[in-house]
Every structure is written in structure tokens, then in C-alpha cells.
Homo-oligomer: A and B are copies of this chain.
């Protein structure tokens, strides 16, 4: 498998410390595939056959139980998902589907575990990646347990705004229904939460959100580095 996407995959912190030979061995059996939007890539409960890496587009991780469904996370380029299941040779805890047309690299699980055993540097990089994943979920969990719906939305907007360069405007990276589910509320409630935030300078125009009074929005949101910061 050869492709112009390889360098960007290689540059992931998960891979950039490993030997060329190991990386090549890992990619030997990998394949890059383009999927249309709304295609279910993996289903929770299935054995973890591949490690997935999103190189273009966007993938939604979600979970189902008892007829309900909830978005757990959104994976944007360049990001991996379900690493833990692959390493443990366990079943997936979450399902995944493309939120839009997406390019995804699939590396057979056995191969990942094999190189993990052989390449010490790769094993160490995996530790860092897993630690980051763990801390991300802990933050999500704190967000849900310690904040109201409106607060979760406000903080998420502030976060997206930062990621997009703090121009005073942001574009939602996925549709509102998915955002609602990610934030743990219904679409109707998200709509109302946006209305609640209007007095705090939040202007909604489709997927474009204007933040015209960040000071006051932050007073309401009370952002917390131990929940909202990607780095800490």
C-alpha cells in the first residue's frame, strides 16, 4: 500500500518514533479506503479486527443499548480509534460510522499487536496515546456529570472557537443532531440551549455560530482546563 496519506499517518505521535522497518511492516497489510457518509464501519460487540485511522472526513463513535443511541466522540483527521480493543484483542465497546465521506486507514489488529510486541518504541508511543484517550473520556465524563446542558454547549462552543482560530465565528464540524447527542441532550434541547445563549452573544446561522461576547459567555460557561483543555 502506497499513498500520499502515508506521511501524515507517519507523523502521528503514535507512529513517528518507531523504526522505518516496523512502520513498513505495519503498513504492509494495511489498506486505505474511502467510505461514503453514514456507513457503519464497526459495531460494538464485534471482535476488534482492525485499528482505524481517519485521514480525511469525520467518524462518529457511538453506542447503543436498550433501543437508545448516543454519540460518544467524533474522530477527525488525523486520529485513531478503538486502539484499546485492538490491544486487548477484545470486542469493540463502541460502534463507528462515517459522519461524511471519509478516508480511513485500516491496520489488521494482529499486525498492530505483533509490532507492539516487537517494537519497543511503538509500545511506548501506544502508552502515551492510550493515556491521552483515557484522559479525554474522563474529561467527557466530568463534563456530563458536573454541568448542565446549557453549560456543556457554551463550553463546547468556546472550545471549537479556539480550535478554529478565535475569529469571532466558528463552523460546526458536524450536524446539530450529532452535536446534541454528543453533548448528552436531544436536538430540541440543543435548539433551546442555543436560544438561551443568545443574550450571551451567541448568534446561530445554520452551521455558522458567531460569538460576539466571549467574556460574558465565559462567565456563564466557566471553562475549566481540567475538562475543556485538550492538552492537560
Contacts and interface: CB of A to CB of B under 8 A. Distances in A.
Interface in A140-184: 140-142, 144-147, 151, 184
A131 B130 contact: yes
B127 A93 contact: no
A93 B139 CA distance: 8
Contacts of A91: 226, 232
Interface in A82-130: 83-85, 87-88, 90-91, 93-94, 116-117, 120, 123-124, 126-128, 130
Per assembly, the copies of the chain total: 2
A184 to B, nearest CB: 6
Question: For the side of the interface on A, what is the size category?
Answer: 35 or more
Give chain A's interface secondary structure class. helix
A153 B137 CA distance: 22
B68 A134 contact: no
16 contacts: A63-B226, A65-B146, A66-B146, A70-B142, A84-B131, A87-B131, A90-B232, A91-B226, A91-B232, A93-B138, A116-B127, A126-B127, A127-B130, A130-B134, A137-B137, A144-B145
Interface of A: 44-45, 63-66, 68-70, 72, 83-85, 87-88, 90-91, 93-94, 116-117, 120, 123-124, 126-128, 130-135, 137-142, 144-147, 151, 184, 222, 224-227, 232
